[in-house]
Chain A
């Protein structure tokens, strides 16, 4: 796991916890966040005098200290102060930073008008514009960096996704179901088939975008009955990948805590990973959905279907529900 700020974690009452962690982008994320924090404090430092002493600020940047200009200056200060908590308070303040960029554009437009208006000290206004332009550059850099680090699929295309769920069956039974690799396509939505080749090796076929398929061979590398299965693709796989499932008895007995950790190299590197995300293929959400289906299959014997979600739990489906009417 990387730094705490790079981990998205949620949990729900069904004992479902998820986190996604990119590998290899910690350094870039760190600089983006340090810059963002600096800009947040800069907003405070600028906003306070704008609100409290708008007249002095007007004279500083060379505009006429009229009642109207004081109101404009004060309003800009309020805007600076409104955005600051959002930037300082959030682990990934990309949205608030983009708002800063928009604010910079507004400031430049206002100063541009001031430059043309009579009664202002042009040299001072021009200097203020240059300063704002400099800040704008920093804002753009910070928002780009923090928004990139919000994407768990960056870092050269290595994707890591973790999730957990509680299943109402004892660990041995959950282990046996998962250990039979041919069961995996019953709950892993993107798998078409997995065929065992002996006890250790298996052949996997997965669905890829546009009707294509991806195939690879994999082997079990660690196997502790009732508690752990780890696997990885063999050399030469188009999509190198590995995974671990850890099982532990849930408190109270009878149920099992299932924790899954998957990692794969996205096809076409970071660009491929970003493209997949664009089409709604969020790896964290996929693992979460897969585990929900796993629970359904182990506990009830089948993936649960409704009229609105006839394919069962799939986040993409939840965004585009058909009406709750029987299928034709």
Chain B
């Protein structure tokens, strides 16, 4: 089959690889109909996530048709149309019992690697490095889905297009969880750093959850326009205004009640020298994150407010404003999204017409064009927001 493979820093290639096989009784094989390139795939593309091997099949946002099931699978049948969540979860451990699916204790056979970096391991993830399990991903014609009874959600409503439900695999629940973690009270002001796809869904979800005011921060006018249009957000271009000042003005000196980081480890900074400082340190591996957005989210948040981190981080950071966090009684909430928890309720919101997730899609191309898709997305060419690949 054809699959988009990581071949080194800034190199992906569509290659012929073997078709997947059932390895565990609980596996299903899915023929991928639609898959997407995630912002977090760019961290792999840029070489900032360790333990990648040349030839790894990428992709953790995908859906398709079940073509084979293992002996132990009871809830899926051949022919079912499914969306697959990006974290792999067994459904039987203590973490899964508590619906903390991205912390599944059994799905990462390479847990020892993650323990070295993080102290303990988290769940396995499709196509996202060997410390996340070494699973082949879904930017491919076929994919093996472990614990098929636990993760995938069957889409029975044929009137829903692939594009309407595909993002239940990651970015819609991830943005939604980012807003949910903020414990939004009616009328709250929620600020979102990053107007990429996750930021768009975080802003839209904050509005759905009752925020009085949503403010989105980015530097690309086309992205800010989208947030204004679809989440009713006010927007700040950090290359034009001092964000902390502007947020203080908007909230009469208090700061936003909640701040969501939808940027992660490769943030850009408005000030050239400060950006260069972190970029050099990251390049020399003296830190793994460029955390400008998170630093600003922390120092902007109102006293006693909540900082929700949904952008991906990999290791260590410096210049972390811990004093601001501690002295001002901020609450930090974070985690890879527990997607399995959100798929059904968010599918209902799509069916009810409360949100149409297709608004983020700007580019559609065949799987064979994946390398071009990575390039356009990475460079934000042609007002790129989200690339969907069809197999």
Contact = CB atoms under 8 A, between A and B. Distances in A.
Given A313-B112, A321-B130, A325-B56, A300 B18 contact: no
A306 interface: yes
A14 B133 CA distance: 16
A318 B94 contact: no
Contact of B137 (A288, A310, A324, A327): A324
Contact of B111 (A166, A301, A310, A313): A313
Nearest to B119: A12
Contacts of B105: 14, 168, 295, 299
Contacts of A326: 17-21, 57, 136, 142, 144
A206 to B, nearest CB: 22
Interface string B83-122: 0000000111110010000010111111111010001110
A300 B26 contact: yes
Contacts of A14: 105, 111, 120-121
Nearest to B25: A302
A305 B55 contact: no
A312 interface: yes
A327 B19 CA distance: 8
B282 interface: no
B72 interface: yes
B110 A308 contact: yes
- Chain B interface size, as a band, is 35 or more
Contacts of A12: 111, 115, 119-121
A216 to B, nearest CB: 29
Contacts of B318: none
B contact patch SS:
loop
A304 B24 contact: yes
Nearest to B20: A326
A289 B107 CA distance: 14
B146 interface: yes
Given A308-B53, A324-B136, A300 B92 contact: yes
B5 interface: yes
B134 interface: yes
A324 B106 contact: no
A325 B55 contact: yes
A233 to B, nearest CB: 29
Contact of A318 (B26, B91, B113, B142): B113
A299 B18 contact: no
A328 B17 CA distance: 8
B93 A168 contact: yes
A309 B72 contact: no
Given A14-B120, A323-B54, A328-B18, A309 B109 contact: yes
Interface in A130-183: 166, 168
B196 interface: no
A323 B25 contact: no
Contacts of B92: 168, 299-300
Contacts of B124: 304, 306
A166 B21 CA distance: 31
A14 to B, nearest CB: 5
B3 interface: yes
Interface string B3-33: 1010000000000011111011110000000
Contacts of B133: 306, 308-309
Given A301-B72, A304-B107, A321-B130, A327 B53 contact: no
A300 B23 CA distance: 14
Contact of B130 (A301, A302, A324, A325): A324
B127 interface: yes
Contacts of B21: 326-327
A255 interface: yes
Contacts of B25: 301-302
B135 interface: yes
B109 A304 contact: yes
Nearest to A293: B109
Interface of A: 10, 12-14, 166, 168, 255, 285, 288-289, 292, 295-296, 299-310, 312-313, 315, 317-318, 321-328
14 contacts: A300-B91, A300-B147, A302-B25, A306-B146, A307-B136, A308-B56, A308-B110, A313-B109, A313-B110, A323-B53, A325-B18, A325-B56, A327-B21, A327-B23
Return the 8 tightest CB-CB contacts between A and B, nearest first: A308-B134, A13-B120, A323-B55, A326-B20, A309-B109, A324-B56, A12-B120, A299-B92
Given A295-B106, A321-B110, A325-B55, 20 more contacts: A10-B115, A13-B103, A13-B121, A14-B120, A289-B112, A301-B72, A302-B25, A304-B90, A305-B24, A306-B110, A313-B110, A313-B111, A318-B110, A323-B54, A324-B55, A324-B56, A324-B137, A325-B17, A326-B136, A327-B18
